[in-house]
Amino acid sequence: MTQNFSGKIKEKLIAAKQKWAEDGRLLTGVADEKRENRLPPGQRLVTDWPVLDLGITPHITAETFKLTIKGEVENPLILDFAGLLDLPHVEAKNDIHCVTSWSRYDNHWQGVSALALADIVKPTSDATHVLFTAHDGYTTNVRIDQFLDDDVLIAHHWEGEPLSEEHGGPVRVVIPKLYFWKSAKWVREITFAKEDHPGFWEERGYHNNADPWAEERYG
Ligand SMILES: Nc1nc2c(c(=O)[nH]1)N[C@H]1C(S)=C(S)[C@@H](COP(=O)(O)O)O[C@H]1N2
Ligand SMILES: [Mo]
């Protein structure tokens, strides 16, 4: 998958989104700081669930799935699907906010919480950032405190069903407080690091921090 990545990505789509980033499209500059409104500034509510990715759908099964957690951790770990399901999992409900301006309320997830995973791998005191690498070659980065939040999940179920392939199944990351590009589908590696490594969209003009309430779309 990864080795063919550059040849297969939809260059046009990427170029278009990169242009949006350069032009600052969808920026409204109006933040609802009190959160009386569940909809972040510049977003519109949808009830379907759009599929957004680089146009490659990796076919990962329960048999072939592996998740590597490495880098600045005391106990590096490679989990297969059964190993992941064996970890204590939690149920969570949250809203999705995509930088392309759609939001979707009340998504019900099941998965392993990032905090539970960190309890096992034990990030070192030098770890400041986390990089996610996916089977389609996609990467995205967050600060360690953004990952180690109580609502962050390594999710394997959505609405009581195994997470579908198009939405990143069997396993994706869900970081509800950030724009959805930070939530890697088909995750295969979680790397704790001493420094920040900008991911795919972060290198192409998207904001490094990605807080929808501050409208950190680009820059
Ligand atoms: N592996 C991978 N994860 C990804 C992406 C991708 O291209 N590849 N796109 C991101 C973007 S831009 C968005 S908006 C969400 C879309 O998730 P969805 O297709 O489940 O709605 O996935 C994010 N995670
Ligand atoms: Mo997105």
> What are the tens digits of pLDDT across the range 147-186?
999 999 999 999 999 999 999 999 999 999 999 999 999 9
Residue whose CA lies nearest to ligand 1 atom number 21: 51
Half-sphere exposure of 101 (CA within 13 A, CB side): 10
Q: Worst-scoring range by mean pLDDT, 31-40, 46-55, 129-138, 193-202?
A: 31-40
Mean pLDDT of 42-58: 97
Nearest listed ligand to the Cα of residue 174? 1
Residue 13 has pLDDT above 80, yes or no: no
Could you write out the DSSP letters of every residue in 7-50?
Answer: HHS-HHHHHHHHHHHHHTTT------TT-SSSS-TT-EE-SS--
The pTM for the full model equals 0.90
Burial category of 195 from C-beta neighbours within 10 Å (exposed 0-12, middle 13-18, buried 19 and up)? exposed
Predicted pLDDT of residue 210: 98
Percentage of the chain beyond pLDDT 70 is: 91
What's the CA-to-centroid distance between 120 and ligand 2, angstroms?
30
Residue nearest to atom 1 of ligand 1 (CA): 185
Q: Is the CB of 186 under 6 A from ligand 1?
A: yes
Q: Ligand 1 in contact with 14 (CB < 6 A)? A: no
Separation of 185 CA from ligand 1 center, angstroms? 6
Ligand nearest to the CA of 183: 1
Entry field: residues in the chain: 219
Residue ranges per structural domain of the chain: 5-204
Cα(98) to centroid(ligand 1), Å: 9
Q: What is the pLDDT of residue 215?
A: 97
Query: Is ligand 1 within 6 A of the CB of residue 46?
Result: no
The CB of 138 under 6 Å from ligand 1? The reply is yes
Ligand 1 pocket member 180 (CB < 6 A): yes
**3-17, 35-49, 77-91, 174-188: least confident range:** 3-17
| Superfamily the domain 5-204 falls into | Oxidoreductase, molybdopterin-binding domain (3.90.420.10)
- What pLDDT sits at residue 21? 82
Q: Is the CB of 210 under 6 A from ligand 1?
A: no
